[in-house]
Structure 1
Amino acid sequence: MPIVTWDGSLAVGHEMIDQHHEHLVELLNRTYDEFCDRKSRHNLEAVLDELIDYATYHFAQEEVLMGQIDFPATEEHLGEHAFFIRRIDEIQKEFLSGTGAISLEIITFLKDWLVNHISQKDTQLGDYANAHQGKPVIIDLG
């Protein structure tokens, strides 16, 4: 059972951003499923790694877009990305070292941060990007 359902309420109206967010929601849901199943620490570790890697990739893509369109709230947005990466890196290090576990509290933090960031900060970015389509915004660092 998903912890977050991807639907129109999370769409920001920018194709690339929405595709990335849909994948992030899918990875979060897989993380939650692995947590609930408690079958394999290895599986949970693998999906958490994938979530971190994809979030890092996604943030880099958004940051390139912000530079291309001269997004006025770039610094604040970058700060939010940096906070999330620091926090999820701490979670992963504690999990891998055995000093911490993935808990419902951590899954809830990930969900709340992602949903709030999308609905507030990324919606602003999507609106601004769509209003400034005169500049090329097709990017793919992958």
Structure 2
Amino acid sequence: MALPRTFIEWDDRFSIKVEDIDYQHQELVNIMNRLYQAIVDRTAQSEGPKILDDLKIYTIAHFSVEESLMRIFGYEDYEVHKEQHRQLVEELQEVMLRVEAGEHHINSDLLIYLRKWLVNHIMHTDVKLGRFLIEQGIGKNKPWYKRIFS
């Protein structure tokens, strides 16, 4: 039986109806799928650290966008949301250090954890943020910058 080509399939149920953030979530899924493919291809030990670094860098950039929008529009759950972001980045950094030291291998357990975290975060925390942003006039074909600068 052949393994699937992707670990996470983007699905409309992941959409928070805010185009910029949905696009960024899709890119996070793409990076996780690259890590999955490296595991399947048995190149995770050589390619995995770079992919994990890409994931960390993109995740930090994405979280910065979300957190900026939360601050700009006065999102009441900003601190809780930001703490979830901080915890994931810290955990990613710890895993990367352990991989670099040879104490941890890039494997399916890591992928399952990352998928569970991302899906849970999108489906619960980010969906709530999406509803808030839509109430602020941001959403599909309504970019945040037009709301601020118009």
TM-score by length of 1: 0.92
| CA deviation after TM superposition for structure 1 residue 7, in Å | 1.6
Distance 1:9 1:84, change over 3 A: same
- What do residues 51-80 of structure 1 show as CA deviations (whole Å, max 9, x unaligned)? 111001000110000011101111110110
SS in 1 for 2:145: coil
The residue aligned with 1:23 is 27
Gaps of 5+ in 2: none
Gaps of 5+ in 1: none
SS in 2 for 1:129: helix
| CA deviation after TM superposition for structure 1 residue 42, in Å | 2.6
TM-score by length of 2: 0.87
Larger radius of gyration: 2
The residue aligned with 1:110 is 114
Question: More deviation in 32-41 or 113-122?
Answer: 32-41
| CA deviation after TM superposition for structure 1 residue 122, in Å | 0.5
Correspondence 1:1-142 to 2 at 5 A = 1-39=5-43, 41-133=45-137, 137-138=144-145
- Report runs of 4+ in structure 1 exceeding 6 Å deviation: none
- What do residues 15-69 of structure 1 show as CA deviations (whole Å, max 9, x unaligned)? 1110100000000111111122113523111111101110010001100000111
> In the alignment, is the contact (CA less than 8 A) between 2:67 and 2:82 conserved in 1?
yes
Q: Give me the identity figure in percent.
A: 29
| CA deviation after TM superposition for structure 1 residue 137, in Å | 2.4
SS in 1 for 2:75: coil
CA RMSD across the alignment: 1.6
Q: How many residues align?
A: 138
